[in-house]
Amino acid sequence: MTSRVDEFQHGGAVDDSQPLPFGPAGRLERFRATSRRQRLHPLEKILLSLVLAQLVFLPWALGGMRWWAQLTSLVLALVTFAVALMPRTYTAEFTTGPDFRMLPLPRLLKFPVFWCGLLLLGYIVVQALNPGWIYIERDRLWWMEMLPRIDWLPSGTANPFVLGGPWRMLVIYGAAWLLVCSIWIGLTRRRSLQLLLTGLAANGFALALFALVQRLTSNGKIYWSIPSANASFFGSFIYKNHAGAYLLLILIVATALAAWHYLRGLRRMEKSSPSALFVFFAVLLATNIVVSYARGATLAMAAFVLAAGLAFLVFQWRQPSDLRRPVVSIALVAALGGFGYVGFSALSAEKALDRMQRLFEDENASVRSRQIASRATWEMLQDNWQWGTGAGSFRFLFPIYQQKHPEIFQQGKRRLFWDHAHNDLLQIPVELGLPGVALIVIAGLFWFLRLIKTCFWENPLAVLLVAGLLIVLAHAWTDFLFYNPAILLTWCALWPVVTLWAEAEEKTVRT
């Protein structure tokens, strides 16, 4: 047995020893001239189940915004990572080639995102061990006091774990880092990636159904029993904008799966495919996003739907003329529009659309206050760009800059407090500084370089996932999406998934 293994093992290879006829029948025969699908390795099955368990758990656990959910997520991530590192022996029932032994550790050590994440977590630990401010609370009032610190090292805040701070963010970022590494080194088959994406889509569909039932029968509490500090909760999410952004991520996954199944069905000349089911999922998710009143998510969804529609037309146009099905495409669009119209009408989506229109009105106090908060956050960044203020420190130190802007500092006799800047693309650099942002950018460049190498734009699932992930990133300019663990971990997990998928598709085409 050899100790080396290619990045992906594909069950099935076309036998080119005998020529196959040309034309549609020949293409169909060539696609079906494959060996039986190979079984997934038992350790890969366990790993896949653990990854899904973590990603399914977080949205139902109030979006993962509570400390107990975050610690649970970290424990799951540690177990998942341990399973991913276990060596595997592949025999004839798991591979079409000779027996071999797969060692995940060497692949992990060659993974740049592993080192970037490890350095980032170490950087946050230094911030936590070198606090420059301490949280003080007396008589139901709180304030921050300066502490002596080592000026040439990054610093953070000392505060209760349940309120935030570097140790809390270490738990969240650590879980995301372990999850990404586990997917990269542990999922070796495209079948595993397909099952993972399908599981996410199915869980999102269930979450959407639950949200609609709760909206129609709501008693003002999450799960009809948990009081919410935010009256605008939606489904199992405390904050409606987080619900909208998470559902948008799942809509992106469902749309990508629908496109992949549809185009694969055309190439294989299959009579039916699961594409219609995933379109149904996507429509229900879109309906939920609109009725959640999450205006930013609705705008982001509109941008994605437009991009997906253009991509669909391009892929259809590039298909051979004998594989195009214009009637099916027209019927699919008509069904999509009809179901959407019925859903929107039944759920009084006009109210949500009216609220969306107010997003562009000058008198919208929410938009104005967020613009001012972003300006104050920019001022905060200018003073702390070298080392940052410390992971999770924004809510404790922002009042120093907030008080310079009376519009967001006080309302009547009531003080206003901002837990987040509602602009992740500014808040994250404020907290992590130049070194932390540089590590994140390097990790992002790794994904893009790998994707460009595989010509991902020729793969319908990959191009839709990448476009959707970038749209969600742009949406983070207007809200604090990546401070929600359910959104952060799902968004991060989809990068290794789409990269591995594009590489698997490229190898399949070459074969």
- Which pair of tokens denotes residue 49? 């189940």
Model's pTM, two decimal places?
0.87
Q: Supply the pLDDT for residue 184.
A: 97
Task: Single out the residue of 327, 334, 402, 415 nearest to residue 372, CA to CA.
Answer: 402
Residue among 499, 509, 438 at smallest CA distance from 185: 499
Per-residue pLDDT, averaged over 80-100, amounts to 88
Q: For residue 90, what are the β-bridge partners?
A: 100
Contact assessment for residue 207 and residue 215, using Cβ atoms and an 8 Å cutoff: no
d(C-alpha 434, C-alpha 445), whole Å? 16
**Region label for 220, one of left (φ > 0), alpha (ψ between -120 and 50) or beta (otherwise):** left
Question: Do the Cβ atoms of 241 and 296 come closer than 8 Å?
Answer: yes
Q: Which DSSP string do the residues of 370-439 spell out, in sequence order?
A: HHHHHHHHHHHHHHHTTT-S-TT-HHHHTHHHHTT-HHHHEETTEEP--SS-S-HHHHHHHHHHHHHHHH
Using the predicted structure, report yes or no on whether residue 35 has a pLDDT greater than 80: no
> Residue 39: its pLDDT value, please?
85
What's the whole-number mean pLDDT along residues 313-319? Answer: 70
Mean pLDDT in the chain? Answer: 84
Higher pLDDT, 369 or 60: 60
pLDDT in tens, 232-281: 899 999 999 999 999 999 999 999 999 898 888 777 766 677 888 998 99
Q: Give the model confidence (pLDDT) of 175-222 as tens digits.
A: 999 999 999 999 999 999 999 999 999 999 999 999 999 988 888 889
Please check the confidence at residue 409 and state whether its pLDDT lies above 60. yes
Q: How far apart are CA 131 and CA 434, in angstroms?
A: 18
pLDDT-derived band at 3 (thresholds 50, 70, 90) equals: very low
Name which of 145-149, 368-372, 497-501 the model is least confident about. Answer: 368-372
Distance CA 234, CA 223 (A): 10
Give residue 91's pLDDT band: very low, low, confident or very high (50, 70, 90): confident
The pLDDT value recorded for residue 237 is: 94
3-state secondary structure of 265: helix
- Position 157 scores a pLDDT of 96
Mean predicted confidence (pLDDT) in 375-400: 95
Residue 499: name the closest of 183, 195, 204 by CA: 183
The residues with which 144 forms a beta bridge, in sequence order, are 135
The tokens for 256 are 């990508």
Q: What is the mean pLDDT of residues 410-439?
A: 92
As a whole number of angstroms, the distance between CA 373 and CA 401 comes to: 9
Tally the residues of the chain: 511
The pLDDT value recorded for residue 265 is: 77
Please determine, for residue 342, whether its predicted confidence score (pLDDT) is greater than 80: no
Band the pLDDT of 328: cuts 50, 70, 90.
low
| Contact residues for 208 (Cβ-Cβ < 8 A; gap 6+) | 235, 247, 250, 284, 285, 287, 288
Task: In whole angstroms, give the CA distance from residue 108 to residue 450.
Answer: 16
- Buried-state track 414-447, b at ≥16 Cβ within 10 A, e below 16: eeeebebbbbbbbbbbbbbbeebbebbeebeebb
Count Cβ atoms below 10 Å from residue 227 Cβ, excluding itself.
8
Q: With 60 as the cut, is the pLDDT of residue 32 above it?
A: no
For 302, other C-beta atoms within 10 Å of its C-beta total 15
Three-state secondary structure call for residue 97: coil
Q: What percent of the chain has pLDDT over 70?
A: 81
- pLDDT at 224 exceeding the cut of 60: yes
Band the pLDDT of 508: cuts 50, 70, 90. low
Which of 38-42, 108-112, 261-265, 295-299 comes out lowest in average pLDDT? 261-265
